[in-house]
Amino acid sequence: MLTQERIEEIKSQFQGLSQEEQQKKFQEILETLDPEEREQITGKQQCPFCSMAKGEIPVKKIYEDETLLAILDIRPANKGHTLLFPKEHHKVLSTVQEPLVAHMFTTANKISTAIFDAMNAQGTNIHVANGSAAGQTAPHVLINIIPRFTKDKVVIGWEAEKVEDNELEKIAESIRGKIPKEKPKITEKKEMRSVREDFSRIP
Ligand SMILES: [Zn+2]
């Protein structure tokens, strides 16, 4: 069992580190802890969404597979508001493995389509809040799928800022520079086929 002091001391070790360094450091620290201490640090014990994923809290289930659970929000923005989340504990989307992120959004889109039909929705919002500054209140990453109607009272909005063209260029460059430059994962077979298709289109 970790003391509050020790937890604070561990937290202080992450200050000033990049997200990648933080993750590395976090793994190193986890390896030195026993399972109970690990739960204290990762917050798995206290997370209601992890408990829902384990079936320990009753939910209004919409969808479930090996890795995901979708439930009705009991305090919805509109009726039919659904929460989709990975069964594995993650606070924010950036720590979720890429194939699972892909699976989450494919599933979110299927649920959104079902909500259009079942709730006679005129629109949907598919929304993720990463971090409290973005309005995240849950300790577990969630995709909100909200049915929308032209005269509903849901507010998702912002006042548009004015940014000069040269600043826009600088911002674009800095974001581009942070996107990993790996090639999209595509099998050799698929790649060959698309090359062949390109050739066959040449008259
Ligand atoms: Zn959780």
Q: What is the mean pLDDT of the chain?
A: 87
How far is the C-alpha of 179 from the C-alpha of 94, rounded, in Å? 12
Say what the pLDDT of residue 172 is.
97
Comparing C-alpha atoms, which of 126, 132, 130, 147 is closest to residue 76?
147
Transcribe 81-115 into DSSP letters: -EEEEESS--SSGGGS-HHHHHHHHHHHHHHHHHH
3-state SS, residue 148 = strand
Ligand 1 center to residue 48 CA distance, Å?
6
Single pTM value for the model = 0.69
Say which DSSP state 159 is in. P
How large is the average pLDDT for residues 121-138?
95
How far is the C-alpha of 165 from the C-alpha of 170, rounded, in Å? 9
Residue that has been written with the tokens 């209004």 in this structure: 60
* CB proximity list for 201: less than 8 A, separation 6 or greater: none
Write the single-letter amino acid at 21.
E
Ligand 1 center to residue 70 CA distance, Å?
14
- Domain residue limits, the chain: 1-42, 165-201
Ligand 1 center to residue 181 CA distance, Å?
31
* Residue 70, strand partner residues: 63, 84
Ligand 1 center to residue 58 CA distance, Å?
15
Say what the pLDDT of residue 183 is.
67
pLDDT of residue 6 exceeding 90: no
3-state SS, residue 68 = strand
CB 86, CB 68: distance < 8 Å: yes
CB 64, CB 52: distance < 8 Å: no
Ligand 1 center to residue 143 CA distance, Å?
13
What are the pLDDT digits (tens) for 12-56?
Answer: 888 888 878 888 888 888 888 877 677 777 765 579 999 999 999
